Structure 1
Amino acid sequence: MSSRREPPRTDELLRLQDVHKVYGRSRNNVAALAGVSLGFRRHSFTAVMGPSGSGKSTFLHCAALLDRPTSGSVLLDGQDLTAMRERSLTKLRRNRIGFIFQSFNLLPALTVVDNVTLPLRLAGKRPNRRLVAEVIERTGLTERRKHRPGELSGGQQQRVAIARALVTQPDLLFGDEPTGALDTETSLEILGLLREAVDSGEQTAVMVTHDPVAASHADRVVFLVDGRVKAELERPTVQQVASHMTQLGAWARSQRPVGADRGL
């Protein structure tokens, strides 16, 4: 029997602890995040919202370690990712984290199948045909598997992006405005796929969005203002989210000097 002990497994998959992100130096620095502490339960769906310049994008980049925090810790299963070297971090992201972006980020010369399996091939892994077929079917792309992005609608391209994120069977899914470029009906279909990924018990999802309807599909909404967590909602409704955004937007504007806009 091996004497190696597995780390204790808790209900919390991801935690940001007192995370700060400062851009620039001296008098011209900008604090995009100012001490964010948040935990994310396994198999949960969290939406992150806030007024313009609240730090949403910076939060996502730091949570996924696409950008290193200036200080503080980002822990995945209790392991501090901020202490890892870049090579190890890249490997961890490939194996455990999936990304879905507003702009799809598909390669135009590749077919649906080739775009979906690209992360596996970049990691030097041979795609499992059964798993690839299952993910493509799950995202409604079976009839489009040989098409290229230019032959697909925006919604279909986002489905490819979701399939690409799911094919590595990640623990975490990060979405950066994944429905921002889509019409209402297509957005609901994409949100349904994200909701299904969480409800199947396989993924934990964190999505940055400006849309109260999108946020209402999440289990929890976290509101950022000026780089800080200002409020949270559990089991949100569209009306509750919209009301909070209106109030926080007005509060944020009242706190800033005229002409100040960090745009982060």
Structure 2
Amino acid sequence: MRQHQGVPDAVRLLSVRKVHGKQRGVVALNGVTVGFGRGTFTAVMGPSGSGKSTLLHCAAGLDRPTSGSVLLGEQDLGGLSEIRLTTLRRDRIGFVFQAFNLLPALTVWQNVTLPLRLAGRKADRDTVTQVIDRVGLGDRHRHRPGELSGGQQQRVAIARALVTQPEVVFADEPTGALDTRAAREVLGLLREAKELAGQTIVMVTHDPVAAAYADRVLFLADGEVVGELLEPTADEVARRMTHLGAWADERPQDGPRLTGSVR
């Protein structure tokens, strides 16, 4: 699969296969090769059980593939010890999940700066202030999560993901627990991170409207990449997902694949 011409990959999976369980294991990813160009925003979609979250976890170094390689820039994650892998994730990768994963006893400021403290790095006050302001919580930095709405809590989680200035931000259903307005604000922040800071965003979602914020939508079925859309609209994504759902349910084992160019 080709990346955007002239754009190097921030993350690349090469023939990645992931099998869960040793006896009669379930194949979650079946030889996936795909790149995510630097400074791009990709949404990953597919039917339930298609391998979306497994792809995200392997790409982010949260899970090791059964075979194949994952590269973050030029670094092959496969040869790293758990300690080195943890350090790399902490320094070069940001995470946003559907569950906000904030510590309830800490303030907004303390939650945002937690990754820096865990890394033994001193938080630069100006940088932290700028990140919190960017997510629209400049007047709430002394508040605790319980004093914030769900949308505000997810914005804290995004600020926490961005404060280390990571190369790649992985987001797993980041709007799944939010109402329409809050979801739109969160997606706008992710797109802003791509456009203003040049960060690479990889987002798993089931929502065609959310996917339309991305530059590209990557479709998975049965652990394989089966198509993509560039510059997607919500209607185009919904139509493809409808087709893909029927295709995934009804095709024979060796039947035809969904057509579409893939990089």
* Structure 1 and Structure 2 fold alike (TM over 0.5): yes
1:186 aligns with 2:182: yes
Shift of 1:255: 3.8
The corresponding residue for 2:132 is: 136
Task: Select which of 141, 146, 156 maps to 1:160.
Answer: 156
The corresponding residue for 1:248 is: 244
Shift of 1:10: 6.3
SS of residue matched to 1:143: coil
Shift of 1:182: 0.5
1:22 aligns with 2:15: no
Residue by residue over 1:130-173, the C-alpha shift from the partner in whole angstroms, topping out at 9 and shown as x without a partner, is 10000000000111101100110000000000000000000000
SS of residue matched to 2:210: helix
Shift of 1:202: 3.0
* Structure 1 gap segments, 5+ residues each: 1-8, 258-264
| CA distance 1:256–1:65, change in 2 (3 Å) | farther
Paired residue type of 1:229: V
Residue by residue over 1:198-241, the C-alpha shift from the partner in whole angstroms, topping out at 9 and shown as x without a partner, is 00143100000000000000000000000000101110011110
Cα distance in 2, alignment partners of residues 87 and 202 from structure 1:
28
Shift of 1:256: 7.6
The corresponding residue for 2:204 is: 208
| CA distance 1:253–1:131, change in 2 (3 Å) | same
Cα distance in 2, alignment partners of residues 142 and 200 from structure 1:
19
TM-score, length basis structure 2:
0.92
Over the residues paired in the alignment, what is the CA RMSD in angstroms?
1.3
Shift of 1:253: 1.1
* Structure 2 gap segments, 5+ residues each: 1-5, 254-263
Cα distance in 2, alignment partners of residues 193 and 172 from structure 1:
14
Cα distance in 2, alignment partners of residues 145 and 164 from structure 1:
12
Paired residues of 1:15 and 1:74 also in contact (CA < 8 A)? yes
What does 1:11-160 correspond to in 2, within 5 Å? 11-26=8-23, 28-160=24-156
Cα distance in 1, alignment partners of residues 10 and 63 from structure 2:
19
SS of residue matched to 2:101: coil
Paired residues of 1:10 and 1:77 also in contact (CA < 8 A)? no
Cα distance in 2, alignment partners of residues 221 and 58 from structure 1:
17
Tell me which stretches of 4 or more aligned residues in structure 1 moved more than 4 Å.
none
How many matched pairs? 248
The corresponding residue for 2:256 is: none
| CA distance 1:186–1:256, change in 2 (3 Å) | farther
SS of residue matched to 2:139: helix
Residue by residue over 1:82-127, the C-alpha shift from the partner in whole angstroms, topping out at 9 and shown as x without a partner, is 1111111111111100000001000000000000000000111111
Shift of 1:11: 1.8
1:173 aligns with 2:169: yes
Paired residue type of 2:8: D
Paired residue type of 2:17: H
Q: Percent identity?
A: 65
Shift of 1:77: 1.3
